[in-house]
Chain A
Amino acid sequence: MTFGFIRPGTIREAIEFLSEHKDNSRIVAGATDVMVQMRSAKPAEEKPLWLVDITSIPKLSYVNLENGIVRIGAMTTHRDVARSAVIHDVAPFLADACLSVGSPQIRTRGTIGGNIVNASPAADSLPPLTALSARLRLISRKGSRDVALEEFFKGPYKTIIEPDEILEEVYFQAPEQSSCCAFLKLGRRESLAIARLSVAVLLDVDESGKISKASIAPGACLPMPGRITPAEEALTGKTPDEETVNLAAQEVGAEMIRVSGVRWSTEYKKPVACALTKRAIWKALGVDED
């Protein structure tokens, strides 16, 4: 297969190039997915495909916290997110999720932006980012726009990003100091595992011990990232006990069936999604059973 390769040094260069070649360009944001897709691609005879590698743009790689907003440059690698002091401080479950991606090699190449735009239902960083109600900033020659993460996805591997746009950063409000969170993932093995199921839980517990705010976002069981409002409602305003937590967990399984229907794997996935959610809620609350 013939293709051209370009590595812009600045955002400006990248978006200029994309606006010229938007019909036959593919952004490389770590290449851990693109490489695999290209191997099975049919050779294109007419137009060479341009691979636009934006990983070397220095201004796309950062993690910072300013005025209560955490900003992560799209080309920040999973490794760097997982090691970021800011993330460990404000949203450790995002660090856990990024640390569960693939293997050390993949985490050193793959980026959080690539993970988001690739839009795999099993993407590891998406459940915590969804729970955090993250927003995205997209940029093109025409200017920039901001969208909520949940509105970014149209379906599995489908997003609203335009061919001449680049994801510049993902940002979210840092959760309250009183909040707690957890991410759990079920794979088929300990490493190099694609999530069969995952769940991110973000809770805020008030002084009386009641859950004042809950965010629950599962992965790999819905066509695209989303929060499970009924599960969150089941927790909100309650003191967490066995029954409340069970109820919330049941809602996750129910939502999975509402959205995806009953499949051959449902018999396994539904109860296990409940079990995983339950453990994640308890883990967030400081009861870690693993």
Chain B
Amino acid sequence: MTKTKWVGMDVTRIDAKDKVRGALKYMSDLSLPNMIHGAVLRSKHPHALIKKIDTKRAKELDGVVTVLTHEDVPGLNGFGIAIPDQPVLCGDKVRYMGDAVALVGAESKETAERALELIEVEYEPLPLVSDPEQAMLESSPLVHETGNIHNHVKIERGDVEAAFKEAHVVVENTYSTPRQMHAFLEPESGVATIDEDKNITIWCGGQHPYRDQLQVARALGMNPRKIRIVNTPAGGAFGGKDEITLQIYLALLVLHTGRPAKIVISREESVVAGMKRHPMKIYMKTAASADGTILANQARVVSDTGAYASLGGPVIGFAIEHSCGAYRVENVDLEGFCVYTNNCVAGAFRGFGANQVTFAVETQLDMIAEKLGMGKLDIRKKNALRKGDIAALGHKMEASVGLMRTLEAAENSRLWQIREELKAKPSAPHKKRGIGIACAFQGCGLGKGLPDYGAATIELLPNGQFAIGISCPEIGQGNTTAFVQIAADYIKCSIDDIVMLSGDTGHTLDSGTSTASRSIYTGGNALKLAAENLHDAISTVAAEILSVPGNDIDIRYESAVSKSCPEKTVSFKTIAEFVKKKGKTIKSEGHFLWPVSETELEGYVGIPHLLYSYITQIALVEVNTLTGETEVVEAVSVPDPGKAINPQGVEGQSEGGVVMGMGYALTEDTIIEEGITLTRNFSTYILPTSLDMPHKIDTIIAEELEPSGPFGAKGIGEAVCVPISPAITNAIYDAVGVWMKQIPATAERVYTALKNKEVS
């Protein structure tokens, strides 16, 4: 493996100083001269026909600059990454409480909000579709004319029925999972401008500026090249800013008024209108032989995507792909439905469908181990995927597989080694302790069926520094710092000599999304190609300066050297000055296309994946038997990210992931009843606080280098929040003997389960 100077080091994040000093300007901090303030009128009903929209009174209000409705959308009145089924501004029908009906631009935010009150909308309520399983019935009212089932996935291999018959143990359960909120600290917000030639620039936190550009262009009926999107920095995203949020509204405001515009929405509006994680109901039947070998897995998953598709289709596919866990299973019968309802829209969210099914399958595995009297770690080792194995969808694990490495490191961890000792010492007599373990794998990249591409640029600046450009936005995950490290090692320069350009269609080429655990692998590989091209260009100039043939140049750290005459060297800085004097520039591009699995699943897009990250996580919990409260005392997280470009960054992801997965397991749920969101802000939506975090989270990085990755790296942003949830619920069982099949395992649910156990 290549020797590195920066990759593998704990480099301080390049945005750390500005962030901790409060100097960094997030989108909500931006202000433009003469700007108007926008506000969006949301629906009053979860499902209704719109009979009339009257904006007259709102328009007359002093200080109102414009009031826009569906009639003012010049292009396609719709958006959506997969299909544009969500109206920009609804004209005839609303399908959930977050639907936008009108858009106001005013001299002040207060006036804009007052104007919303003056818009008169006449609705005719329609029967509500609130339960996804009910929605699948023929008799259900329709959310969309095309039918309530947006996507159906069915994968069968082998013979599950035969396996169930011959199996030593069969477990069969139904699980349900909550509507988790991304809870990024910066609610959706942005500003926009327009120039005399109608070129529009939009600054709005997002996860794929080039796709935002096309979605905005589609709604405006404009040439995409007239629209510049800046997505970096986003104050958190987690998938919740993958879809369009306010970009089109900002564009409409500047287009119709010719003035700059700003929109910042409140937390309450963000909760009602924004994306969530798909709640899923998972029926699962799993069979194993007496030695713990998993023989078959049958799953039926119903996923509530809410009023619009967004990425609900790919999410159910991803869930099915991951529904057998990171294990070899020869007989599978897996079926998934993505269903429309009048609930809040669900879309991309860190884990992308893996979280829900991993909770189910990892609980199944523990139940099997329990029935067989087998160790919880042993059963996982027994079935763990290894390189060359055939995974559940019938595809070969061709890339690096680090699951065993993570299991071995987890087994050797302090927490696992002294678990019995720790379990024996609860902090009070009415508290019981337990330990739980779970594994997961997480597909990286967009999967089979759609080319996953990405570019990087490098420019030698006149002062000898290098500007690198990658459009995958910085959403807090730290990818820009990793890019700088990777670039420095490929270019062979200091990280201090790199200027990072991120998430801006005006200054970077299209590198794809900051989603799917893909940005490091994509950006890193593109940088590698760009650096090779850069070195060619530098060699040519160096040869000229040193008066040696072009093929006699070797690139060393911060300089070019003659191979034949090593005392002849020229620094990058001198080369930069030389190029500048000649009035030239050195710029290079790298274009990377992801390799894909050889297996093609007819009719499906996005599955299977070629590359996966792997992880094992352990939780030590303490359950209060008097109140049902669960505390996660300690956790161990063992990710396989391939090469850890910035180990401290991986630790940060890992700790954040553990806490996010803990909230998912124990407290977080966005409650929607009859189409109305009840948990409207952070006082009732229970995110863990710093005091709720485990006292100790140990991250042990188990690197299984991926030959196709930059310096061996894969991706780790998502997997870190996945298996910790079932590790916690499995630990609850270990502590008090109840299986939690519904998460969040709130105090009330655990208490009820304990009482029911006592009764039976």
Contact = CB atoms under 8 A, between A and B. Distances in A.
Interface of A: 1-2, 36, 39-40, 42-43, 103, 186, 188-192, 194, 265, 267-268, 271-272, 275-276, 279, 289-290
B14 to A, nearest CB: 30
A268 B748 contact: yes
10 contacts: A43-B113, A186-B629, A186-B747, A188-B747, A191-B689, A267-B752, A271-B751, A272-B751, A276-B626, A290-B427
B146 interface: no
B547 interface: no
B585 interface: no
Contact of A272 (B626, B667, B683, B690): B626
Contact of A189 (B114, B427, B692): B692
A163 B268 CA distance: 30
A275 B625 CA distance: 10
B114 A190 contact: no
Interface string B614-636: 00000000000011110000000
Interface string B712-755: 00000000000000000000000000000000001110011001
A220 to B, nearest CB: 13
B627 A186 contact: yes
Interface in B93-132: 110, 113-114, 117
A188 B689 contact: no
Nearest to A272: B627
Nearest to A194: B683
B424 interface: no
Contacts of A40: 268
Contacts of B626: 272, 275-276, 279
B482 to A, nearest CB: 32
B595 interface: no
Contact of A43 (B114, B686, B746): B114
Contacts of B428: 289-290
B63 interface: no
A145 B428 CA distance: 47
B656 interface: no
A190 B266 contact: no
B691 interface: yes
Contacts of B747: 186, 188, 268
A223 to B, nearest CB: 20
Given A290-B427, A290-B428, A190 B627 contact: no
A189 B748 CA distance: 13
Contacts of A190: 689, 691-692
Contacts of A36: 683
Q: Is the interface of A mostly helix, strand, loop or mixed?
A: loop
A189 B667 contact: yes
A239 B687 CA distance: 43
B689 A276 contact: no
Contacts of B427: 290
B429 interface: yes
Nearest to B680: A40
A191 B751 contact: no
A2 B747 CA distance: 42
Contacts of A265: 748
Nearest to A45: B114
A271 B681 CA distance: 29
Contacts of B683: 36, 192, 194
Given A191-B689, A268-B628, 13 more contacts: A2-B110, A36-B683, A39-B268, A42-B117, A103-B689, A186-B629, A188-B746, A189-B686, A189-B687, A189-B688, A190-B692, A191-B692, A275-B626
A189 B110 contact: no
A188 B117 contact: no
A188 B752 contact: no
Contacts of B56: none
Nearest to A197: B627
Interface string B674-696: 00000000110011111110000
B101 to A, nearest CB: 18
A271 B755 CA distance: 10
A188 B691 contact: no
A1 B109 CA distance: 10
A289 B430 contact: yes
Contacts of B691: 189-191
Nearest 7 CB-CB pairs, A to B? Answer: A190-B691, A275-B626, A191-B691, A191-B689, A289-B428, A268-B748, A188-B686
A210 B427 CA distance: 30
Contact of A191 (B113, B268, B667, B690): B690
B751 A268 contact: yes
Nearest to A274: B626
A39 B629 CA distance: 32
A43 B667 CA distance: 34
Contacts of B430: 289
A194 B681 CA distance: 13
Contacts of B746: 188
Nearest to B429: A289
A99 to B, nearest CB: 12
B291 to A, nearest CB: 42
Contacts of A276: 626-627
Contacts of B114: 43
A268 B626 CA distance: 10
A103 to B, nearest CB: 8
